[in-house]
Structure 1
């Protein structure tokens, strides 16, 4: 559903506005210098801090801010959902959060992720083989969007061929936040109904997958309720696809638009692990959200209970008070304490997986297409909302 265009970002911002999706950086720069915490009455009232310091303060304050829902919409979930929230552990508050996160850490350990690298690399090459011979390749549609779908589907024990359905859930949950409440509910019910048979099947016949692992887990001696497992699996499915798809696409888009950086990575492949940290910083895809738990004043702003607060980690990564030459992409930047994976206790549990997928995707793309450029910069469309990435970046590849 289309919303009214923004006329004043300081008093009426909308993170789903097309201008935000296309180029949010000037918006954040202007706000940071003139009104570092913006306010809007949209979505029932929301705040937007733009400095690294303010974003960090909120991310680390579970006393005044709850995570029970992290996607801003016009509909607030019931207070009674806390401390687990809609999709634990990302929506969980203390003390429930620590236990719900701890269950997932073995799945996303560096050792476990390393085991996934060969199959991920093989799949990247399979995708690249499928587009060889073309003059123009859509780096997202033909490549980036498929990689995390395959990886996360196999980790969860879901069928690869349902990728289109997964991407539909991503769009419905993350991008369609302005849709009517009934349509939002229908999307969430669709995800629940899709996942439930797989939960039931693993209860009867456990497999070597994350669904089975969660069904065998407990919190404080109590086994997980199947509905809790569904909500956690839904989180892993949506977050595991959209964030990584966006990061891979943005990285290829940058290299296509910046020949010097492309040539440097082709000539210095050992620099890729360092470079991806900078690409994550510069084009961090994820903005999270909190709800004010109890009235609090931040940076002189009186935030009231049940107000939304966006946590734009991408804006924090562009704060010149925290990063030198914040608006420049420096492939060898080090140290690089970026916030692309979040800040505080909710820092992304799947960061090792995302890094592996991004690194392997770039290594294999650069090996297959060392010479490429944007075919049509005006044709690039970026997704709006709380996960930003290029959805249609046409890239011209040299024969």
Structure 2
């Protein structure tokens, strides 16, 4: 069987066996009460989830909804951390809340390993990726990343108003991930489409979602074919040739990990860069301080990650149980809002404020537990370089029209339009 046949057959079998919704399919629509009917897919949540989360933390720290077939939303740091570390009662076989749950049979590998993997498989699948994301490996990419940021700004110079999300932030992780995977850099528009389909299209009918997944898979399959014919030193060739337990990785494992790196590697960093620029644009004192004290940027960056953490992950309840005062049912979703954890006043002093010289900052922006982001060093490098270059080239900027800023309505939150006035 050729590589092409192996990957095609595996994918078709996965799609054929994918379950259809059997529980409440309602996802979007007006929320009656965030404590009993929440939906993170609503525009109100996208615009300002912090007000909602702060309210829930006071009156209903573990909210519930019948949407998505049943889901829970803890808002206290201690509850979020407890679930993130508890692999006995909560499964990671699906990490994006939708109206479809993958069958239990796909555990412990999951569809996008290692983030969808449960122990003991998770440890070994994650270990395969670690060499590509060490501080040393990431440092080798900094020069090219910086040069690319300058090239982007070269194209933007002279414009009075720049959409910093569309014309700057999104392109940086697209180029970095394309280089790491050995994908054509000109395929950036396709990457954006894949990201939006996977993370912002959860309300689409299952057949539409499957069709979109097929489009992503067909792209990955074409890249795999090309790498088999033309091996090179990149992550795709590495995954194709990697072995686990003395055997080549299964085709679904290779494609799933590639899709994870492509989608998560782009959207999270794109969102973090955009949110940081949004904050500095609306907070002149912080912007001016970072321009005059550039050495403060690494500390400020951690605070921006804490305050505007982009990522919310999900888990599935393994079995019916009573947990911290609520009755959870098997296959209920758990929405792990790391942004909510980062703004818990029991965990952080002045939790609702952005303190760019905050010294003690053990935030959860990169997650908690065994699934803490394997690419955190890469994300930090991209964010730091993106901000350094922007502040160097555009030391004075502000929001052109605050009402024109839009945010993604998904489990990865960041600005999608961010018009900034330069000078």
TM bin, normalised by shorter chain, reads over 0.9
- Partner of residue 185, structure 1: 210
Q: How does 1:265-304 map to 2 (within 5 A)?
A: 265-304=290-329
Cα distance in 2 for partners of 1:115, 1:379 equals 37
Q: Displacement, 1:226?
A: 2.4
Does the alignment pair 1:233 with 2:258?
A: yes
Residues 197-206 or 164-173, more deviating = 197-206
Cα distance in 1 for partners of 2:225, 2:151 equals 33
- Partner of residue 422, structure 2: 397
Within the candidate set 61, 66, 70, 2:86 is matched to: 61
Please say if residues 64 and 292 of structure 1, whose CA atoms lie closer than 8 Å, have aligned partners that are also in contact.
yes
Within the candidate set 334, 337, 343, 1:312 is matched to: 337
How big is each residue's C-alpha offset from its partner over 1:280-335, in whole Å with a ceiling of 9 and x where there is no partner? 00000000000001223222011111000000000000000000000010111112
Residues 88-97 or 1-10, more deviating = 1-10
Within the candidate set 132, 142, 146, 2:157 is matched to: 132
Please say if residues 27 and 99 of structure 2, whose CA atoms lie closer than 8 Å, have aligned partners that are also in contact.
no
Normalising to structure 2: TM-score of the pair? Answer: 0.93
How big is each residue's C-alpha offset from its partner over 1:121-152, in whole Å with a ceiling of 9 and x where there is no partner? 00000000101011101110110000000000
SS for the counterpart of 2:88 is coil
- Partner of residue 42, structure 1: 67
Runs of 4+ in structure 1 off by over 4 angstroms are: none
Within the candidate set 232, 247, 264, 1:207 is matched to: 232
Cα distance in 2 for partners of 1:38, 1:223 equals 43
- Partner of residue 134, structure 2: 109
- Partner of residue 23, structure 1: 48
- Partner of residue 172, structure 2: 147
Residues 295-304 or 24-33, more deviating = 295-304
Q: Displacement, 1:3?
A: 2.1
Please say if residues 140 and 249 of structure 1, whose CA atoms lie closer than 8 Å, have aligned partners that are also in contact.
yes
Cα distance in 2 for partners of 1:307, 1:48 equals 11
Structure 2, unpaired ranges of 5+: 1-25
Normalising to structure 1: TM-score of the pair? Answer: 0.98
Structure 1, unpaired ranges of 5+: none
Over aligned residues, Cα RMSD in angstroms? Answer: 1.0
Within the candidate set 184, 191, 195, 1:166 is matched to: 191
Cα distance in 2 for partners of 1:165, 1:374 equals 29
How big is each residue's C-alpha offset from its partner over 1:72-105, in whole Å with a ceiling of 9 and x where there is no partner? 0000011111001110000000011001100100
Cα distance in 1 for partners of 2:353, 2:366 equals 20
Q: Displacement, 1:197?
A: 1.8
Cα distance in 1 for partners of 2:241, 2:206 equals 34
Cα distance in 1 for partners of 2:168, 2:230 equals 34
Please say if residues 199 and 226 of structure 1, whose CA atoms lie closer than 8 Å, have aligned partners that are also in contact.
no
Residues 225-234 or 141-150, more deviating = 225-234
Count residues in correspondence: 398
- Partner of residue 328, structure 1: 353
